[in-house]
Structure 1
Amino acid sequence: MVSIVKRGSTYRAQISLYKHGEHKKLTKSFTSKKEAQRWALENELEKGNGKQLAERNTTFADFFENWMYVIKKNDVKETTFQNYIRTSKIVRNLFQDIQLKDLNDIVIQRKIDEYAKTHSKKTTHEVLLKIKTALRDAYFRGYLTNDFAGLVKTRGKELPKRNKALSIMDFKKLRTYVLEHSDREFNLLVLVALETGMRRGELLGIRKEDLFEYGIKVRRSISPTSTDTSLKTKNSKRDVSINKEVYDLLNQLVAKDNGYLFDPDGFQQSAKLSKLLKKLDIDRTTFHGLRDTHASFLFSQEIDIAYVSQRLGHINIQTTQNYYLQLMPEKKHQQDADALNLLNSLSS
């Protein structure tokens, strides 16, 4: 049994224990109710049976926030945890005072559909995944009577992909321009993105000691929301080869006071890229789209998919196939022609 009582300016949390045949109580005071709830959750989990936690009249919003801090915080990268914090605010706004005992798949589906009215299907899916994880945890701990998370579906608008790969023609046009104007630091950043397929945070994390002849050691990633510089996955740690021309240009850069070659510049790279692409009359994409362009170009040139996957730092080849290897328009047209020629040959 959990009890949280406000006493003056503090909150006293109390949980019941059953040890050696005796009922005992564990009590501690905190300056905020949230701290008291998290302490109670942590200690209830340690009791081993997990059935008494916070009872079923706890609101889902409170459960999600407590679960996030106690269970997820130490299991995920800091930047990923920031996503959980943002989701927690969404959960609180959507579910408000709805309690665990009142949850079922219809309630969750209605709330998700409400959110989907103003958000893309991709964004809605990412929020729902975190909600489902929390629901399953609540079920396994005995706070929900049914495991209904799998019944809830993602809906929402299918928005045009922002991270789309450039055509081969636009890829060459952009590469030529930034190479010829590489005296500007931002242009050199774009060039390295096109040459390596590195993520934006990985590009901003390059230090002088990461350069080798001829390549870049990917060892850290810079984030606008966290001081954590660890890479996205263990496979993200890799060495990416570059040509001599790009290597020489990088070597000419003087490291900033913090040791990095590129200035984060308020993480406005996508806005700057948009202006550059507009100037060159190239279809808009994002910095992640440059990564997609790099992968798609290699794929269009018959580069082995295992190499492309390793170069991008993917956890497995399936990730590369699912998300990055889109056919560039010119390659698709050629493939269409080849396919028709094969079919036509059957009747000759």
Structure 2
Amino acid sequence: MASITKRGNKWRARASYVDAKGERQQPSKTFDTKREATEWATKLETQIIDGADINAGKLTFPAYFRNWIETTKQGTVRASTYTRYTTAAKLIDKVFAGMIMEKLTTLSLQKELNTFGETHSKKYARDILTLIKTSLRDAYLDGIIKRDIFTRLQPAGQVVDKGDNFLNASDFTKLQDFLYSKTDEMQTRPFYIMALVALETGARLGEVQALTKADISENHLTINKAYSSSTRKVTEPKTKSSVRTIAISKRLSAVLSDFFKTTGQDNLIENKMSTGRVSLEMQDLVREADIQPIHFHGLRHSHVSYLLHNGVDIDYVSKRVGHANVSVTLQIYAHMLKEKELAQDELTLQVLDNE
């Protein structure tokens, strides 16, 4: 209940309630008129009845964000995903230090995002902003902030030109031939077989490292788990659509069969590799095979590019690489599809011109 008392020429409104932790809270505020004090007390009582945490608005944004991920994400997302949230929390501690929830505005947030973007890539800024918007949307729904201050926020960052992270058709077959020539060395250098599997299946790094002997059957490979380098554990894959069984070539099936038979191991990769080591191994592979520089994930992109280049249906490709739907594939590989469209335009004109 709220009480209104006169103190000199002022009026003080005070409310009393027990918060979610069972602690007694007594927020108060002084006004020039009794009417203002009554209106404030009535509004406050309505919020209390609706279950709002009145004092939550006085938290700093970093404190709220940490409480938000501990309450809504811990135990409900994959361990590797939760690590991503906690990493973001450390960054938010620095970028938005001291900013109070109830005083946040779109402009104040955007100003800090712009400063952050001066030293970070736009992609990274966009990823962080997604988490920020999600947390603030929950704060808005819970009545902690009183208006939508997040929808108009924009990522600010440096556009980094990393070049094409996929191989052209010539380099694809060149790397393919190189890796098949190294089958006798795969036992001592397992990165060769990791790269070959990624190139011929489009599997992600974590999916490749989690493969076992039981996942390989005649001319088929089942992907139903993934290794996380951040938690160093094998867990469920990235999404439900990531669980899939795909056809593999007879050559790859034979190489995998011989590898498991020769090594006698159940896991494709017994000693899991960190992302740092994979990066170094990939740099060496690029030099050895004499192909254009790409990252390990570029093997997945190369797989998709090569299939599309050779006329494989995009719906099939989308399912093969574990995308949720074909629109994801279209979005990621729009540049490749545009090149193919231009080539088809040229072919069409040649046909119509009878050339």
Same fold (TM over 0.5): yes
Partner of residue 241, structure 2: 235
Measured after TM superposition, the shift of residue 335 of structure 1 is 3.6
Partner of residue 33, structure 1: none
Partner of residue 5, structure 2: none
CA contact (8 A) 1:166 1:328 kept: no
CA distance, structure 1, for counterparts of residue 210 and residue 61 of structure 2: 38
The reply to whether residue 321 of structure 1 matches residue 326 of structure 2 is no
Q: 1:257 to 1:124 in 2, by over 3 A?
A: farther
CA contact (8 A) 2:210 2:234 kept: no
CA distance, structure 2, for counterparts of residue 258 and residue 135 of structure 1: 48
The reply to whether residue 260 of structure 1 matches residue 267 of structure 2 is yes
CA contact (8 A) 1:296 1:325 kept: no
Measured after TM superposition, the shift of residue 70 of structure 1 is 0.3
Q: Percent identity?
A: 30
CA distance, structure 1, for counterparts of residue 21 and residue 89 of structure 2: 30
| Code of the aligned partner of 1:198 | A
1:57-68 alignment runs, 5 A limit: 57-68=58-69
| Code of the aligned partner of 2:61 | F
The reply to whether residue 221 of structure 1 matches residue 226 of structure 2 is yes
Report the number of matched residues.
308
SS at match of 1:150: coil
Measured after TM superposition, the shift of residue 101 of structure 1 is 1.6
Q: 2:22 aligns with which of 15, 26, 29?
A: 26
Q: 2:305 aligns with which of 290, 296, 309?
A: 296
Q: What TM-score, normalized by structure 1, do the two folds share?
A: 0.81
| Code of the aligned partner of 1:321 | L
Which stretch has the larger CA shift, 67-76 or 293-302? Answer: 67-76
1:149-228 alignment runs, 5 A limit: 149-161=150-162, 164-183=165-184, 184=186, 185-226=190-231, 227-228=233-234
CA distance, structure 2, for counterparts of residue 194 and residue 325 of structure 1: 20
Q: 1:337 aligns with which of 332, 343, 346?
A: 346
| Code of the aligned partner of 2:112 | K
Q: What TM-score, normalized by structure 2, do the two folds share?
A: 0.79
CA contact (8 A) 2:125 2:155 kept: yes
CA distance, structure 2, for counterparts of residue 156 and residue 58 of structure 1: 28
CA distance, structure 2, for counterparts of residue 258 and residue 331 of structure 1: 43
Bigger Rg over Cα: 2
Measured after TM superposition, the shift of residue 257 of structure 1 is 9.3
Q: 1:102 to 1:159 in 2, by over 3 A?
A: same
Partner of residue 293, structure 2: 284
| Code of the aligned partner of 2:321 | L
Q: 1:259 to 1:48 in 2, by over 3 A?
A: farther
Measured after TM superposition, the shift of residue 325 of structure 1 is 5.5
| Cα deviation 1:185-236 (Å, max 9, x = unaligned) | 2112111111100011000111111111111110110011122511111111
Q: 1:280 to 1:56 in 2, by over 3 A?
A: same
| Code of the aligned partner of 1:264 | K
Structure 2 unaligned regions, length at least 5: 1-15, 24-47
CA distance, structure 2, for counterparts of residue 179 and residue 186 of structure 1: 13
Measured after TM superposition, the shift of residue 243 of structure 1 is 1.1
CA distance, structure 2, for counterparts of residue 48 and residue 86 of structure 1: 36
Measured after TM superposition, the shift of residue 280 of structure 1 is 3.0
CA distance, structure 2, for counterparts of residue 225 and residue 179 of structure 1: 31
SS at match of 2:222: strand
| Code of the aligned partner of 2:208 | L
Measured after TM superposition, the shift of residue 48 of structure 1 is 8.7
CA distance, structure 2, for counterparts of residue 59 and residue 258 of structure 1: 52
| Cα deviation 1:23-67 (Å, max 9, x = unaligned) | x9726xxxxxxxxxxxxxxxxxxx994412543111000000000
Which stretch has the larger CA shift, 332-341 or 139-148? Answer: 332-341
CA RMSD of aligned residues (A): 2.8
Which stretch has the larger CA shift, 53-62 or 116-125? Answer: 53-62
CA distance, structure 1, for counterparts of residue 337 and residue 172 of structure 2: 10
Measured after TM superposition, the shift of residue 248 of structure 1 is 1.3
Partner of residue 308, structure 1: 317
CA contact (8 A) 2:260 2:266 kept: no
Partner of residue 132, structure 2: 131
SS at match of 1:164: coil
CA distance, structure 1, for counterparts of residue 153 and residue 333 of structure 2: 28
| Code of the aligned partner of 1:132 | K
Partner of residue 103, structure 1: 104
